[in-house]
Amino acid sequence: MSLDPAYLEYPRRSHGYDHALYPWSALHERPPVKWPRGSVAVWICVSLEWFPITPTDMPFRAPGHMATAYPDLRHYTARDYGNRVGAWRFLDALEKAGVRASFATNAAVAERYPQLVRAVLDGGHEIIAHSTDMNGTIDSSLGETAERALIGDALARLFAATGVRPAGWLSIARSQSFRTADLLRQEGLTYCCDWVNDELPYGFSNGLVNLPLNHELSDRTIIAVQQQSADSWAQSMEDAFDWLAGEAARTGGGRMLPIHATPYIMGLPYRIGAFERLLERLSARAECWFARGDAIVESWQGQR
């Protein structure tokens, strides 16, 4: 029995990825990008998360969520440590190094910890919308009405709590539906951080920008999942920076290093020192431009 030729037909088959969300291109084929200073834009993104003590598991359970039978006080309080202790250590480390970062913030964090988000804003850092709380997950099983309501609710609550309308969006687990990019754009957002297939910003067909936040460079992946030390994580960041700086020198075009950090992981007293030392060493490099996500997107857009 032969296969029907129509089985292999797909209306969106094209160069690169099989969708019309954005035009595909290889990094080396694009015009070079120049940053305001240096050749490697280093983007620190800190996640401020609130985990409800009972996960809904709909449409899926967020990474890092409660793991044992209700009430899972061990994991609940370990996550709460990040907002009570770890995030403040991040703010101190960033201030000491003179670095401005982006804080991907659940709306529930802004409501429950007003002193924390005020300190983030007073420190010159950026707030990125990070859903409502860690039950606010998205995938294609979520209907359009429910997804639109979730995104709108997160943005409205963040604005009510902070007085700031975020320009960026980070989905929980970087998970989207097929309509998320359009819904984000309709809500007036400038960029999202969910697609990790590049090391520079790129544009969607609808005008949204993607600022890739590679999960492989996160403390969750390297420390919590791979069980490496904080010093090993920091060395991985330096190794990545060295490679990107060398590549930028060879090609004449700028590169970007996203560093995703979690207060309840990296904010522990035996790890935060590695984060501080990393900031100090990168600050001494002439190739380094520490920048918030919105500043990187703005610089990139100005060169299109």
pLDDT in tens, 54-108: 999 999 999 999 999 999 999 999 999 999 999 999 999 999 999 999 999 999 9
Is 210 inside a domain boundary? yes
Q: Is the pLDDT of residue 209 over 80?
A: yes
- As a three-state string, the secondary structure of the chain is CCCCHHHHCCCCCCCCCCCCCCCCCCHHHCCCCCCCCCCEEEEEEEEECCCCCCCCCCCCCCCCCCCCCCCCHHHHHHHHHHHHHHHHHHHHHHHHHCCCCEEEECHHHHHHCHHHHHHHHHCCCEEEECCCCCCCCCCCCCCHHHHHHHHHHHHHHHHHHHCCCCCEECCHHHCCCCCHHHHHHHCCCCEECCCCCCCCCEECCCCCEECCCCHHHCHHHHHHHCCCCHHHHHHHHHHHHHHHHHHHHHHCCCEEEEEEECHHHHCCCCCHHHHHHHHHHHHCCCCEEECCHHHHHHHHHCCC
Q: What is the mean pLDDT of residues 286-294?
A: 98
Residue 217's domain comprises 35-301
**pLDDT given for residue 141 in this prediction:** 93
Q: What is the CATH number of the domain that holds 236?
A: 3.20.20.370
Q: Is residue 241 part of a domain?
A: yes
Query: Total structural domains in the chain?
Result: 1
Handedness of CA 189, 151, 179, 170 (dihedral sign): positive
Is 54 inside a domain boundary?
yes
Across the range 214-225, mean pLDDT stands at 95
* 10 domain-assigned: no
Residues 6+ apart with CB under 8 A from 206: 21, 181, 182, 185
- The pLDDT of residue 159 is 98
Please compute the mean of the pLDDT values over residues 141-147 and round it to a whole number: 96
Cα→Cα distances 258→116, 195, 238, 244, 294, Å: 23, 13, 12, 11, 13
pLDDT of residue 20: 84
Is residue 233 domain-resident? yes
What pLDDT is attached to residue 1? 59
pTM over 0.85: yes
158 vs 16, residue with greater confidence: 158
Band (pLDDT 50/70/90 cuts) for residue 18 is confident
Please confirm whether the linkage preceding 114 is cis (ω < 30° from 0).
Answer: no
Give domain status of residue 4, yes or no. Answer: no
Residue 225: band (very low, low, confident or very high) from pLDDT cuts 50, 70, 90: very high
